[in-house]
Amino acid sequence: MSAPADPSRNPAWPRPELMITEGWADYALLDSGYGRKLERAGRMTVIRPEPQAMWSPALDEAAWERADAMFDADRTSEDEGGRWRFARGDMPETWPMTFEGVGFLGRFTPFRHLGFFPEQATQWAWMLPRIRARVAAGGPPPRLLNLFGYTGVASLLAASAGAEVVHVDASKKAIHQARENQAAAGLDDLPIRWLVEDARRFLAREVRRGNTYDGILLDPPKYGRGPKGEVWKLFDDLPPILADVAAVTAPDAMFVILTAYATRLTSAALAGLMTETMGRLQGRVFCGEIATAELSAGRVLPTALFARWMSDTALMAEPAALRGA
């Protein structure tokens, strides 16, 4: 009979951590339960499906019935499709939102999303002070690559902190909405390149060109298509694309942040893949779950997994206030 695994035998292996989005002025997870979540996004209160909310709601049904909109999922759809049901007929297509002073637009999408992923706020809050610290240290602006960048909230935040950003998404519609967000924020002068590209093809060219980045964000879907019909499958395509990410990561890069929403994955699996693919660079891997704190009963609702790599140079240069944060 084998002995239990001893974590002390591999002290370098990352121990999963929980990153919690507490909400902010323009967003709150009000309640959750029975496979749903009740959220406030700007001036809208919405109900969306959430399979991981397996408990009972803490608020009474009257609180839920006051929602402005509810998304009905199509259970036969593989792409999270469905339709919104609205409490009234004069609902706007978009509405203003802000995070740390940067504006963007909330919107009702056909895929239950709101035009942004609120749980990512904990990653944004982690990323921004590190970009600002790199900018304050002098030298050229840090270069950030945002792959599968969606509507560009992270790109706008990074650019507002001083980074030069290359934003890549395969969807023309997403890039159009990202540009709308930039205009809504009044940040048209920020150095952001908005590219409608297949992430794999773009990265392959960057590897050949020898370009490198000081920070890289990846938020790939479980399944998707590129602008020329390229098929993306997370479990098949993540290992090779992460190898190309490693090839364009600067040796002293601030971070590589990978987020995944696939329920069959674990954060330990993401950490194992990132440890292998980033092995040529000197650095450290972190991993864990992303969750959102609920106002009603104080529970945390898990929504995604993450793995993060930081170079040894970036770790050693971190201001004391950021260490362990």
How far apart CA 287 and CA 255 sit, in angstroms, is 13
Q: With a cut of 90, say whether residue 126 has pLDDT above it.
A: yes
CA-atom Rg of the chain in angstroms: 20
- Residue 176 domain-assigned? yes
How far apart CA 40 and CA 210 sit, in angstroms, is 44
Domain tally, the chain:
1
- Residue 70 domain-assigned? no
**Domain containing residue 110: CATH number:** 3.40.50.150
Reduced to 3 states (helix: H, G, I; strand: E, B; else coil), residue 276 is helix
pLDDT class of 7 with cuts at 50, 70, 90: very low
- Residue 246 domain-assigned? yes
17-21 and 102-107 beta bridge pairing? unpaired
- Residue 5 domain-assigned? no
How far apart CA 222 and CA 186 sit, in angstroms, is 33
The predicted-structure confidence for 63-88, as pLDDT tens digits, reads as follows 999 999 999 988 765 556 789 999 99
In sequence order, which residues have a C-beta less than 8 Å from that of residue 69 and are 6 or more positions away? 44, 45, 46, 47, 84, 85, 86, 87, 91, 108
The predicted-structure confidence for 145-177, as pLDDT tens digits, reads as follows 999 999 999 999 999 999 999 999 999 999 999
Residues spanned by the domain of 279? 14-19+94-322
The predicted-structure confidence for 232-266, as pLDDT tens digits, reads as follows 899 999 999 999 999 999 999 999 999 999 778 89
Q: Which of 242, 244, 251 is nearest to 214 (CA)?
A: 251
Token look-up 């030298």 returns 139
255-260 and 300-311 beta bridge pairing? antiparallel
- Residue 32 domain-assigned? no
The model scores a pTM over 0.85: yes
Q: How far, CA to CA in Å, does 222 sit from each of 126, 140, 231, 235?
A: 24, 35, 11, 8
- What's the distance, CA 285 to chain centroid? 17
Strand order through the sheet with 164-169: 17-21, 283-293, 300-311, 255-260, 215-218, 143-147, 164-169, 192-196
Query: What is the arithmetic mean of pLDDT over 98-120?
Result: 96
- Residue 79 domain-assigned? no
- Residue 187 · residue 102 · CB < 8 Å: yes
Largest CA distance in the chain: 67
95 pairs with which residues across the strands? 106
25 half-sphere exposure, CB direction, 13 A CA radius = 8
- Residue 306 domain-assigned? yes
CA angle centred on 156, ends 151 and 158, rounded to 5°:
125
pLDDT for 227: 84
The predicted-structure confidence for 10-49, as pLDDT tens digits, reads as follows 556 788 999 999 999 999 999 999 999 999 999 999 999 9
CA angle centred on 33, ends 31 and 37, rounded to 5°:
50
- Residue 30 domain-assigned? no
How far apart CA 56 and CA 140 sit, in angstroms, is 52
